[in-house]
Amino acid sequence: MTRPPPRCIGCQRDRVAWVKPRVDFCYGCLPGGPFPAPACRVCGSASYFSDGLCEACHPGGPEHLGSCRGCLAWGVTRAHGWNCWACRWWATHYPLGDCSYCQRRTRVGEQNACRLCLDQARMSQEPGRALHLGAANAHGQQITLANMRPARPKVPHLKPQRAEHHAHVDVRAPTWRQPALLDVKPDPALVRERALTADSELVRFCGDVVREHATRHGWSKRQTNDVIRSLRIVQVLQDTPSAMIHATDVQALSRYGGNVSSTLEVLAAAGLLIDDRLSHVQRYFASKTTQLPAPMTAQLEVWLEVMLGGSHQAPRRRPRDPMTTRIHIMGIAPILHAWATDGRQSLAEITTAQVRAALPASGSHRYFAEYGLRSLFTVLKDRKLIFTNPARSLRPTPMTRNVPLPLDTDAVTRALNSSDPAIALAVALVAFHALTAAQVQRLKLTDVVDGRLALDGRDIPLARPVLVRLAAWLDHRGATWPASINPHLFVGIRSAPRLGPTGKQFPWTKTDLRPQALREDRILQEIHATGGDIRRICDLFGLSVDAAVRYANTIEHPDLRHSLTPVPRTRPPV
């Protein structure tokens, strides 16, 4: 195939007007121009490319048609490397070899035949009979048009009989490990090429697990093939074939075009995974403590372990929420770095006066720093890693609370009437019943029974507009992912073939509303409709008394006195 001519040195966008004699400008940038480009001398098209030809007639044009390098089908372009769609898939799943029937050097499948020979055999295959590759390709092949599925006779699909139990695979942690002399990342192209021919007991065993897992979770054929290919890449990258597979090694599959999430699920189902991944809090902790002194870092690691895992020895502690731990780290990290800059090596050197001097002047930063330091020094004192608790005498600074504000009713109405059923249902659940974003994310299909929602010990009768949008979403979910066994109410393209919930931002990224602001708007509407009945607000939305008082204080606010009365009909009180 002829290479495309160079681009114009003026605009760097269009191709040069002609090559012989050489010119470095297109017609629009020629000196003395711009000049109008002529029509194609072959077909008369106005889509000029170079040398008097258009994009389709020029051999180097983007629309010039040619033969597929794999199956010789006519109708492919340069944009996809002169390969049709099927041969592009073959290039990622089958190795290079010599076809046993046409003797071409190309990608060969499991029957040691290229795709051209297989398609020729399928065209002449009789219903109910196996492929006869030798007889079908004895007198040549029929070339077809690219990217068009040929009509084939319907052949009964006979599922192979699978063994009830998998073959035994001796996978164990190695007793020794050869250290690497140089840490060199493998070439992705070589890894992908070697993975096409990788084969072992581990790959065959995991192949059966993948197919069973795919059938149970409703995976598509493409996703199943991607996971099998990813397992072959893992096998190539594995130093010890008999070793268990670490999750951190699987995460490197993204560099080679592998499927990380589904491969982790399969390895976990097969019992071959060592989950050594760090949580988001642990990664955040490591990013904030890498430059601290070693004694101080060791003390912080003890505190982090107690915060995330709790303590069974006296004094006992329950595990804290990971978000609480992250907020503590955010509050104390600047103070710890300031102490390390002043030459402090250990937290046992810190005094009460130094703690007071290091606290921010006011605001939320002081609030988070106080609570983080109290938690940190309390744990270290309980573990006898410091002599005294310098934060014991600190009195917590009251948190500055903002005033909840109502939203634009038109924006909420547009979101409620969205054409996306997931957006409409999520907005309705928050706008009518003030659910949090985390509660919407964790909702299960079994939480809704007979028009009532069971949530955190409360029995909530769903409003009629919510029921209408719930029925629309369930119909959309059943039509889009009929084989999904995900128990959550909301599923997406990533979570449908799995069992976990959707991301935290689903489906809010498609709207201009924030779930917290929408929840506050709903509670504001209710508190003003009931005249400040705090008990009703606590029972209806599961709030604490302090949280309900924050909304009750807005009744006398001059800016909110008239804006929230009467309550709009689009969001009536439940």
Chain mean pLDDT for the chain: 83
Among residues 428, 416, 402, 404, the alpha carbon closest in space to that of 563 is found at 404
- Residue matched to tokens 């170079």: 50
Structure tokens at 251: 């995460």
3-state SS assignment for residue 113: coil
Look at residue 561 in the predicted model and tell me its pLDDT.
55
Strand partners, 7: 15
Backbone angles phi, psi at 295, to 5 degrees: -60, -40
Indicate whether 155 pLDDT > 50: no
The share of the chain scoring above pLDDT 90, in percent, equals 18
| CA angle 204–205–208, rounded 5-degree value | 90
In terms of phi and psi (left: phi > 0; alpha: psi -120 to 50; beta: otherwise), the region of 456 is: left
Burial level of 187, CB count in 10 A (0-12/13-18/19+)? exposed
What letter would DSSP give residue 488?
Answer: B
Contact 548, 401 (CB under 8 A): no
In terms of pLDDT, which residue wins out, 526 or 110? 526
Task: Give every CB contact of residue 321 below 8 A, 6+ residues apart in sequence.
Answer: none
Cβ neighbours for 477, distance < 8 A, ≥ 6 positions apart: 484, 491
Across the range 151-173, mean pLDDT stands at: 46
How close are the terminal C-alpha atoms of the chain, in Å?
Answer: 70
CA 186 to CA 284: how far, in whole Å? 28
Q: Give the 3-state secondary structure of residue 53.
A: strand
Q: Using pLDDT thresholds of 50, 70 and 90, give the confidence band for residue 159.
A: very low
Which of 51-55, 211-215, 237-241 is predicted least confidently? 237-241
Contact 337, 292 (CB under 8 A): yes
What six digits make up the tokens of 311? 């303590």
Query: What is d(CA 374, CA 510) in angstroms, rounded to the nearest whole number?
Result: 40
Radius of gyration of the chain from Cα atoms?
33
Are 369 and 332 contacting, i.e. CB atoms less than 8 angstroms apart? yes
When mean pLDDT is compared across 313-317, 383-387, 446-450, 479-483, the lowest value belongs to 313-317
| 3 state SS of 75 | strand
- Whether 472 has a pLDDT exceeding 90, the answer reads yes
Evaluate if residue 127 carries a pLDDT over 60.
yes
Q: What is the DSSP letter of 422?
A: H
Q: Is the pLDDT of residue 228 over 50?
A: yes
CA distance 123 to 151: 8
pLDDT of 154 = 46
Helix/strand/coil for 76 = strand
Query: Coil, strand or helix: which one is 202?
Result: helix
Q: How far apart are CA 99 and CA 245, in angstroms?
A: 35
Q: Of 381, 376, 369, give the one whose Cα is nearest residue 305.
A: 376
With beta carbons less than 8 A apart as the criterion, state whether 281 and 308 touch: yes
Per CATH, the homologous superfamily of domain 409-552 is: Intergrase catalytic core (1.10.443.10)
Q: Between residues 401 and 469, which one has the greater pLDDT? A: 469
Is the model more confident about 413 or about 244? 413
Give the pLDDT score at 151: 47
Nearest to 63 by CA among 4, 134, 138: 4
At 257-290, the pLDDT tens digits run 888 888 898 888 888 888 888 888 999 999 999 8
**pLDDT given for residue 557 in this prediction:** 60
Q: Is 300 helix (H, G, I), strand (E, B) or coil?
A: helix
pLDDT of residue 425: 94
Q: Would you call 294 helix, strand, or coil by DSSP?
A: helix
Round to whole Å and give the CA distance between 527 and 51: 75
Residue 567: is its pLDDT beyond 70?
A: no
pLDDT at 568 over 50: no
The count of C-alpha atoms lying within 13 angstroms of the C-alpha of 338, restricted to the half-sphere facing its C-beta, is: 12
Residue (of 208, 181, 272) closest to 234 by Cα position? 272
> How many whole angstroms separate alpha carbon 45 and alpha carbon 53?
8
Q: In what order do the strands lie in the sheet with 458-461?
A: 448-449, 452-455, 458-461
Lowest mean pLDDT: which of 40-44, 61-65, 164-168, 190-194? 164-168
pLDDT tens digits for 317-332? 889 989 999 999 999 9
- At 397-432, the pLDDT tens digits run 776 667 777 788 888 888 899 999 999 999 999 989
So what's the pLDDT on residue 329?
93
Mean pLDDT of 133-154: 75
Q: Is the whole-model pTM more than 0.75?
A: no
Beta bridge partners of 245: 273
Phi, psi of 7 (to 5 degrees): -85, 160
Question: Confidence band (pLDDT; 50, 70, 90) for 161?
Answer: very low
- Give the H or E element holding residue 425: helix 421-433
What are the tens digits of pLDDT across the range 299-358?
999 999 999 988 888 888 889 989 999 999 999 999 999 999 988 899 998 999 988 888
* Residue (of 107, 108, 102) closest to 81 by Cα position: 107
What pLDDT, on a 0 to 100 scale, did the predictor assign at position 335?
A: 93
Average pLDDT over residues 377-384: 90
Omega cis (within 30) before 396: no
Would you list the domain boundaries of the chain? 1-64, 66-124, 188-274, 280-382, 409-552
Cα–Cα distance, 343 to 320 (Å, whole number):
31
Which structure tokens are listed for 15?
């191709």
Highest-confidence segment of 171-180, 243-252, 279-288: 279-288
Neighbouring C-beta atoms of residue 561, cutoff 10 Å:
12
Instruction: Give per-residue pLDDT as tens, 74-102.
Output: 888 888 788 898 888 888 888 888 888 88
- pLDDT tier at 37 (50, 70, 90 boundaries)? confident
